[in-house]
Each structure stands twice: as C-alpha cells, then as structure tokens.
Amino acid sequence: MSGGLVGAKGWTSFGGGPATAEAAVTVPKLDQIRVALFIDTGKYSDTVAAVTLSAAAGLQLSLRSAGGAKPVYTAAAKEPVRVYADGFYAQLPETGDAAKAGAQAQKLAAAGKAVGIVQRTKQGKPAYQVYLGPFATKEAASAEAAAQAGAAVSGPQRLSAGTYAGAAEAQAQAAAIAQAGFDADVALLDAGEAGAAAYAVLVGGAVDAAALQALKAQLAAALPAVALAPVDAAQGYALQRSELAVTADGTVPATGFAVGGPAKLWATTAAAQAADGVTVLERAGRSYRGGIELSRLNGKLAVINELPFEEYLYSVVSSELSKAWPLEALKAQAVAARTYALKQGVKYQIAHVTDTTLDQAYKGQTVEFPTAVQAVQATQGEVLADKSGLISPLFYSNAGGMTAESTEVWGNAVAYLKSMPSPDDGAEEGKKLWYRIVLPNGSYGYIHSDYARDTGLKNPAGLPYYESTGTGVSVRPAPYVDNAGNPAIFKVDIGDRFVVIDQVKESNAYSWIRGPFDASKAKDKLGSALPAGTGAIDHLEVSKRGPSGRALEVSANGQPLKAAYPDALRTMLWGLPSTRFEIEETGRYTILGADGKTRSQTSASPSIYAASGSNPGTEQKDSQLFVMDKDGKVRVATKSPQFIFRGTGLGHGLGMSQWGAKGYAELGYDYQKILQTYYVGVSIVKG
C-alpha cells in the first residue's frame, strides 16, 4: 500500500540544472501497488460475475485480515479455482444427471450468461445445481430467473450450524446436514483482529429474513439437535464449494469460493519461487506477479492484483511498447509510467490504478520482455517533476508529426505541455500499399496490394487496369482490416478486372483514413452536439485549428458542433484516431469551365452535363462520378454527401508520443533528452 510522502532530500536532477533547496519536491513512496482487474466503484465499472484462477505450480488461497492470512485451500498445479462474490442467484431446477447439468450450462454460457454448477451429495445421491450469477441485487437475479424455465432465486442469507477449530469437523457436520437433504457448505470465517479464524457450517441461501426463518423451521424439524443461528451480515467468510467449471469443451471439476461480507480472499502461487504467477482466465488468461485479492465492493466482485511497484512497471513498459524498440525509448516510458502511477494515489477506492488504457496498459507477467525489465531497473525510482511536484506525464501512441498544445485537447494551459515536432513516421514503415479501385459496375473501395496485379493495360483516361489474384478478396471502405469497424463492402475473385484510381499506405498509427460516412446518418450520430434547428447535414468542415493543426472546432452547415473540450471531437466524429485531420466531402467539388470560370457543385446544385466532340451534352444522372483534376488525380463525387477523414496521429497528442520517443532514440537521444523534449522545463528526480 502507499506510504506517506517522504522528503526528496539528496535527490538527483538530470539535465535540468543543479538541484536547489527551493526546487526540492516530495515524492510519494509506494512499495506495493494495487491494480484493479475488475471493479465497480460507481464512477468506474469493469465487472465480471466470477473469475477462474490457477497457477502452474499450484495455487495457495488464504483469508486475508488485519490479523494476518489464514490458509483456506491449496490447489494442485494448474487446478482451476472459481471465485465469486456471494450474492443472489438464479437457480435452475436441481438434477442428478451431470450430463444434463453440463448441457444446460453450456447452452447458457454460449448465450453469454455467467453460469456455474455446484455439485453436491445429498441423501447419498449426486445433485447438480446450475446457477446464473451471482447478482448484486434480488431484482437482477429475479429478472434472470424469470427467463429460465423452473428457475428460482436464492440469496446470501445463511444459517450457521456451528463453528469448529478444524476443517474436518466442519466437513463432517456439513455431510450430516446434506444427508438430511439440505444444502450445507464449509466456510472459513474472518476473525479480524480477534484471534484465530474458525470454520463454520453454513446452510441454505435465502433471499430475505422471512425466507431464512422458514428455512430455519424446516431444519429444526429435520435436525432438532443442530443449533442454528443467522450469519451476521458483518461477518466475513470464504465459503467453499465443489463445482464444475464450464469450459468451451464442456465441464471440468473445480473448487469454488463465494466471498461474503467484508472478507478478502488472497491467491498466490503455492511455490514461493515459482517463475509463473497467478493466471486469471477471464482476463485473457494472463498471468500476474504478486497476488490476487478478491473481495466484495458495492455488491460485486472486486479483483485486485497487488505486487511490488517496480515489478508492475516491467509489465507496463512491455504492454505499452515493443521489445524491438530502442532501450532509451523504453527507459523514457519507464520514467513516465512510474510518475503517472505515483501521481494517481488510491484512485479507485481500494486500488491505485486499473489495468486499462484509462490509466496505462498492464497485461501482467505474460507480456514482459527482458529489455523492458532492464529499462525499469536502469531508471529505478526516477520520476518527472516541476516546482509544484510530480507532473502528470501524459503519453499516447503517435503525435502524427506534431504534439499538441494543452489548450488544443482540454482547453486549459499546462506549462510543460507545448506543441513541437515529433518524429512519428516510423509507424508507417513497412506498411503495404492498398489500391483504391473501381469496378465496371461503379463499385469502389480499397484492396490490399498483395491481392491485385497490374495487367499492363490502361483505360481511355490513362488509368491502369489491375486484376484480382485471389478468390473472395475483401474490398473495404478504408485501407485497413477491421471486420467490425471497416467490413468488406464487396469481394472480388481471381481474374476480376478493375481500374486503380489511387494508392495509399495501409492506415496506421501515423497516417490513416476513415469513412466514407453518409451525411444522411450524420445527424443521428452527432445528436445533441448539433445546434438546435439543424436540418439535414450537407457540409462538414474544420472551422478552427490549434497551433499543431489539430481541430479545435468542427462546423456542420456552418454552425459549430457543441463539444465539451476539443479532444471530444474524436469520439463525436465516428471515433477518429486523432483530431489532426482533414475532411473530404464527396458531395462538393469545383468545376473549371472552358472559359476559365469555376462552378461549385453540391447535391443541391443543378444537374451537370458531359460533352464530347460530337456529343453536345448528356445529363449525368448517376449517383456518383469519378472526376480527374488537372494533375491527373481522381476522386469520387457523389450526389448524396459523404465525409472522408484523412489524418495523422493516434491519441490525444499531449506529452510524450511513444512512436516519437522511438524516433528520437534512433536519432541518438538518450531517455533524459527524450523526456525533457516532450515535457518542457521539468526535472528527472530520483526519489
């Protein structure tokens, strides 16, 4: 956890001039960092009903409290353990048929449901209980149960059938209760600071006090010798169950734990020196250093990875950058990432940061590479500061050749964030060409150059004919592969011939194309950002730019869009990579007449006529035209307006460009010079 602020006396300044007493800053000390993998704080939510943990060397689970950690369970090598926050469940009818239960669970899992199977022995016979959840509220569980035939709602209210010093005694009591036909499980109780934790037998799963009282009466009638008492809502516990984990191939045996009350379950590798960490299946199967803490927060499961702070940075640098990049760029990232994490404090109630790019990418131990570890160790403890203390060292993928002034992103001025050139074009090195093609029927789009070859022939306008070299080759609106955001608009087969009207590099972090987007759909997309009374949109333009060329304002039909801050335009305009862009309008073009006069043509303009030597003129009624300018460049003109965005850069543009850091390192800059180029007037402080 975060310690107090410690004085930075004796700190070292790199490249920022000699340290002075006036310039000294305090640097937060953080030995262990807590990273939220899944959490719901109210303001931020990324949740999961349950997580499946394992470790190559076996998993050690303990109940963590102020009094220390009490071992609960040791899993074998690679054995899965399923953990969830005890809550409300939609319970399907119990069955003695394992195959039936598995088939039910598989079907629900395929529908995207959070599903599990508890396996029990009741009255000497196997019993399988398929459940959905858990849910934080009875209402949520009831809604799910209503959609499943015969399902009922169960809850977290339970009865204690006694506490025991050892697990064996508790298991014997649970078995006796199960023999009478009731659900009973063993749980380790959280004793807090009071003393040693105890084992308890918990019975049932009622949704409210009335249901719990009814259960108590049933148990008392069947087992009059068993003393029963409601479990205090403030009592923390880890309830252990035998489960069947639902996998893509079926079900596998697993141990399940329901975490109740304020309890914290702590999972680490069973072997202290194991090279592999704890694997979280629901986080892309990633493995993590340190341990995983599991608890309830706001009624939902909170999954926190706690590990040594500097080791956390091994993964951040590895997640943010490539192992092929220069060491000096990796060092710059390490210092920026360290500063960023320290600057956050405990941002998420029980965690300092998340593992997402909302903070900084963190993909666990799985992605680490040696030079990232070297970069962190070589800069150990170093952070970025100005006279006010730690700065907010913003970074992002690519500046598109020029970083942003702070006012271009959020509207406010920050002294150390200035616009300046950035060598970012390395992002497009090695990218293949895409051809913009037109078929005989007028269909057009982009095709990867690997699937097209020049026939050596040209059309009457001097444009080359190419043909497809593959079958079922996708032609897309923009030059990049994204089946969700940029799906194929048509396909071509071997021998299909088309005209190439342009060629560009595949869209990348440095240069990109997005669209075309139909003006007819723009009004719904822009919604409340449009001024009141705006009609159909036929004109979209950048009406104001900042020092770096980024759009500060975009206008529709001459009226500025309403944006909370300039960088919000990226999300508003179809999720553009950056605000450093130009807008091409396919429904607007200028015609140069034979007499030197020009005419601006829009969808609302009168029809145009094309004339040849013997033809006095033919009205052009097609929905699209392909027009060539005086330089021989062809563009598409459409009667219905469309908007194409061409831009550079990926991200907000403030602070350090990661591709730019790579470019500077390749030019011979060390990490200190890289950092002090992107963050103007700051010092590198060793805390």
Report pLDDT digits (tens) over 671-687.
Answer: 999 999 999 999 999 98
Q: How far is CA 125 from the centre of its chain?
A: 45
Give the tens place of pLDDT for each residue, 67-77: 788 899 999 99
Work out how many domains the chain is built from and give that number.
3
Residues 564 and 492 both lie in one domain: no
Q: Record the tokens describing residue 525, joined without a space.
A: 């997309």
- Who's near 21: CB < 8 A, 6+ residues apart? none
Asked if 496 and 536 sit in the same domain, the reply is: no
pLDDT of amino acid 433: 98
Residues 6+ apart with CB under 8 A from 151: 90, 91, 92, 93, 132, 144, 145
Mean local confidence (pLDDT), 218-233: 92
What local confidence, expressed as pLDDT, does residue 605 receive?
57
Q: Give yes or no for a contact between 92 and 148, defined as CB atoms under 8 angstroms apart.
A: yes
Choose among 504, 52, 502: nearest CA to 284.
52
Q: Is the dihedral of CA 426, 428, 429, 430 positive or negative?
A: positive
At 331, which amino acid appears? Answer: K
Find where tokens 């659900």 sit. 183
The pLDDT score that the predictor gives to residue 13 is: 42
Residue 425 DSSP one-character state: G
Residue 452 lies in a domain: yes
Residue 251's nearest CA partner among 77, 49, 101, 55 is: 101
Helix (H) / strand (E) element for 83: namely strand 81-85
Residues 499 and 520 in one domain: no
Q: Report the DSSP beta bridge partners of residue 492.
A: 473
Q: Do 88 and 132 share a domain, yes or no?
A: yes
Helices and strands (H, E) in the chain, number of each type: 11, 49
User: Does 556 share its domain with 455?
Assistant: no
User: 637 in a domain, yes or no?
Assistant: yes
Residue 546 has pLDDT above 90, yes or no: yes
Structural domain contains residue 585: yes
Q: Is residue 156 part of a domain?
A: yes
Mean pLDDT throughout 513-541?
A: 91
Task: Please name the helix (run of DSSP H) or strand (run of DSSP E) that holds residue 662, with its range, or none.
Answer: helix 658-666
At what angle are helices 309-320 and 370-378 packed, to 10 degrees?
130
| Domain C-terminal end among 260, 278, 312 | 260
Contact criterion met (CB below 8 Å) for 630 and 644? no
Residue 510 scores a pLDDT above 70: yes
Q: CA-to-CA distance for 609 and 591, rounded, in angstroms?
A: 11
pLDDT at 24 over 90: no
Beta strands 642-648 and 511-518 are antiparallel
Q: Are residues 491 and 580 in the same domain?
A: no
Terminal CA-to-CA distance of the chain, rounded, Å? Answer: 17
Summarize pLDDT for 284-301 with one digit per residue, the tens: 999 999 999 999 999 999
Residues 575 and 492 in one domain: no
Last residue of a domain, one of 260, 289, 311: 260
C-alpha to C-alpha distance for 473 and 476, rounded to whole angstroms: 10
Domain that holds residue 532: 513-648
Residues 6+ apart with CB under 8 A from 302: 36, 38, 39, 40, 85, 293, 294, 295, 296, 350, 351
Greater confidence (662 vs 253) lies with 662
Top-confidence residue, 634 or 404: 404
Model confidence pLDDT, tens digit, residues 455-472: 999 999 899 999 999 999
Domain end among 505, 529, 548: 505
> Which residues, other chains included, contact 273 with Cβ-Cβ below 8 Å and sequence gap of 6+?
none
Q: CA distances (Å), 333 to each of 404, 518, 548, 578, 617, in order?
A: 19, 40, 23, 21, 63
Same domain (yes/no): 490, 623: no
Query: Do 551 and 471 fall into the same domain?
Result: no
Any domain includes 614: yes
Residue 39 tokens read as 């959490």
Q: Which of 103-117, 124-138, 265-279, 645-659 has the lowest mean pLDDT?
A: 265-279
Q: CA 625 to CA 404: how far, in whole Å?
A: 38
Cβ distance 328 to 16 under 8 Å? no
Domain annotation covers residue 557: yes
Considering the domain boundaries, does residue 230 fall inside one?
A: yes
Specify whether 532 is located in the same domain as 603. yes
* Beta strand ranges found along 261-350 (DSSP E): 264-269, 278-280, 286-288, 291-297, 300-308
Closest among 638, 637, 659 to 649, alpha carbons compared: 659
Residue 127 is assigned to a structural domain of this protein: yes
Does 486 lie in the same domain as 627? no
Whether residue 169 sits in one domain with residue 252? yes
